[in-house]
Amino acid sequence: MLDSRADVRPIMESILQQSLIVNVCPTINLQENLGARIPDAFCWPSLFKLVIGIALAFPVSSALAQDNAPEWQAKVRKYSEAGDWNSAMRIVDREIARAPQDADAHAWRARVLSWSGRLAEGEKEYLETLRLSPTDPDHWLGIASVYMREGRTEEALRALSTAVELDPKRADLHLARARALRARGERSEARIEFQRALNLDPASMEARSGLASSRGEPKHELRFGEDNDLFNFTSANHGGAVSLLSRWTPHWSTSFAGSFYERAGINAGKFSGAVTGRLPRWGALTVGGAEGHDNAVIPKSEAFFDVGHGWRISEGYFLRAVEFDYGQHWYWYQASRILTLNGTATVYLPREWTLSLGATGARSIFSGTGAEWRPSGMARLGFPLAGWNEKRLSGNMFFAAGTEDFAQVDQIGRFASQTYGGGLRFLITARQDVTAYSSYQKRTQNRTDTGVGVSYAIHF
């Protein structure tokens, strides 16, 4: 905080030195503006400068005082960014012990609790903060954020409405209310709030993208893809696919695809379909299958199921969320049968980074031979690269060992391999994206497979 004697004096002196008010004759005629002539006795230039200087000095000193936040708040923020919640709590508890009625100290304690994932305690602390300072919109914004993370959208909206009433000129409050309305499915009301935020802050990219997103989330994805495998020991293979993914409700979705293959001049194709059911508490279950015109290069038929569940940990931790997935897939070829058991764990990290680790056990049975198990594994790292307005560019790198693609006859149980690769995804708009990948596979017997592919999707 500024000291009234040490800090205001230099500001006042500077203002007085640079004042545009000059020492003019003490008979300035203000008759045009005031309808009267100012007596000489009241026209003291130095006193006039002093009054103006004092009037200007206090707003400046107040602004500087606000810019220089207390040192303890900076330390709390620093510890919170590092995930050192204990140190952050010690500081805010010390401040509350020093000033039990300080609403700002209670607000910082509420923030630390909610950032660290202790939402119930954070809510209780925000309620205490509102008891001490019920007219501060930031406190209502804070408790609304806790309600949103707890899934209590209705209560969050009430808190945000109060915040907007207290300060209707703040774009961030309108943005928060728009997000809550959008989460509740009230898109027309959310669009109004996004527009209000944009009116107050024309440079807000979130308000612009929010206006676009409030038109309604696409329910369908139509994707066209093409793949090529270039071998060092035989002619190239080619493939293509057309798929349609539809999310009919938050709980039900379907997917259908037609795939086409060219292997050593032999053509084959298949049709696949799946249904997925989701429940927030239980996760997702997918069941599906495929039938094909195989020509001995792809399975004649397939069946599979997949179960997955995710857990949100905390936005303040390095580990934000974890998702586990388990699936079984049966492939029936003309001369063999394959069963794969697949397990994948995906870790969600800060700044939209992800890490996936997967393992597969494959049981192969060929005509005239017994069953044989073969393992394989995969690691994949996803990361953002750049963003321009709605456009987003992201990438991934992966490594796999073993036989990975059991939907192709040239991959099943015949060799060991290591595969290195990566991909890019360019989100052109919220309704269009392009993906591309490349990979290099080293097989036994000094054989290699270089794969490249690209796909384009329309969301509607």
Spatial distance between the Cα atoms of 335 and 380, rounded to a whole number of angstroms: 32
Residue 215: pLDDT above 90?
no
Indicate the residue among 158, 187, 217 that finishes a domain. 217
Mean per-residue pLDDT for 376-383?
A: 96
Q: For the domain that residue 194 is a member of, what is the CATH number? A: 1.25.40.10
Report the pLDDT value the prediction gives residue 413, as an integer from 0 to 100. 57
Task: Establish if 90 belongs to a structural domain.
Answer: no
Q: What percentage of the chain carries pLDDT values higher than 90?
A: 62
CA distance 422 to 453: 11
User: Does the pLDDT at position 48 exceed 50?
Assistant: no
Token pair 């179960």 is found at 307
pLDDT on residue 216: 65
| Residues 239 and 347 reside in one and the same domain | yes
Query: Is residue 197 domain-shared with residue 304, that is, in the same domain?
Result: no
313, part of any domain: yes
How far is it, in rounded angstroms, from Cα 320 to Cα 348?
5
Are residues 274 and 337 both part of a single domain? yes
Residue 105 lies in a domain: no
User: In the structure encoding, which two tokens stand for residue 130, read together?
Assistant: 């509102």
pLDDT of 275 > 90? The answer is yes
Please report which helix (H) or strand (E) contains residue 31, including its range. helix 31-34
Residue 267 lies in a domain: yes
* Together in a domain, 389 and 277: yes
- Whether 208 and 275 map to the same domain: the answer is no
Instruction: Give domain status of residue 95, yes or no.
Output: no
pLDDT band at 69 (very low <50, low <70, confident <90, very high): low
pLDDT for residue 440 = 96
Render pLDDT for 251-260 as a digit per residue (tens, 0 to 9).
Answer: 999 999 999 9
Residues 452 and 322 occupy one common structural domain: yes
Domain membership of residue 49 (yes or no) is yes
pLDDT higher at 417 or 422: 422
201 and 316 together in one domain: no
Tokens of 311: 């857990």
Whether the model clears a pTM of 0.85, i.e. scores above it, the answer is no
Could you give the angle at the alpha carbon of 416 between the alpha carbons of 413 and 418, nearest 5°? 130
Residues 236, 207, single domain; the answer is: no
User: What average pLDDT score do residues 301-328 get?
Assistant: 92
Model confidence over 132-179: pLDDT tens digits?
A: 999 999 999 999 999 999 889 999 999 999 999 999 999 999 999 999
- Stretch 320-349: mean pLDDT: 94
CA–CA separation, 110 and 116 (whole Å): 10
pLDDT tens, position by position, 226-256: 999 999 999 999 999 999 999 998 899 999 9
- Residue 7 CA to residue 84 CA, distance in Å, equals 35
List Cα–Cα distances, 33 to 26, 37, 45, 398, in angstroms: 17, 10, 19, 77
Give me the pLDDT at residue 377, please: 93
- Helices 8-17 and 45-67: crossing angle in degrees, nearest 10, is 130
Percent above pLDDT 70 for the chain: 82
Question: Domain of 294: which CATH number?
Answer: 2.40.160.40
Asked, for residue 376, whether it belongs to a domain, the answer is yes
Residue with tokens 């989100």: 427
How many other C-beta atoms can be found within 10 angstroms of the C-beta atom of residue 414? Answer: 14
Q: Do 210 and 266 share a domain, yes or no?
A: no
Number of structural domains in the chain: 3
pLDDT digits (tens, 9 = 90+) for 79-116: 999 999 999 999 999 999 999 999 999 999 999 999 99
Statement: residue 67 has pLDDT above 50: no
Task: Let me know: does 293 contact 272? Beta carbons within 8 Å.
Answer: no
Q: Please report the pLDDT score of residue 167 as a whole number.
A: 96
Alpha-carbon distance 151 to 113, whole Å?
17
For residue 239 the two structure tokens come to 């493939």
Q: Which of 67, 96, 114 finishes a domain? A: 67
Quick check: 19 pLDDT over 60?
no
123 in any annotated domain: no
Q: Which pLDDT band, with edges at 50, 70 and 90, does 18 fall under? A: very low
Count other C-beta atoms under 10 Å from residue 288's C-beta: 19
Check residue 297 and give its pLDDT: 86
Confirm if 78 and 71 have CB atoms less than 8 A apart: no
Note whether 195 and 287 are same-domain residues.
Answer: no
Please, which residues have CB within 8 angstroms of residue 272's CB and are 6 or more apart in sequence? 256, 257, 259, 288, 289, 290, 302
Same-domain pairing of 63 and 190? no
Residue 200 pLDDT more than 60? yes
In which domain, by residue range, is 179 found? 135-217
From 217, 241, 259, the end of a domain falls on 217
User: Do 246 and 270 share a domain, yes or no?
Assistant: yes
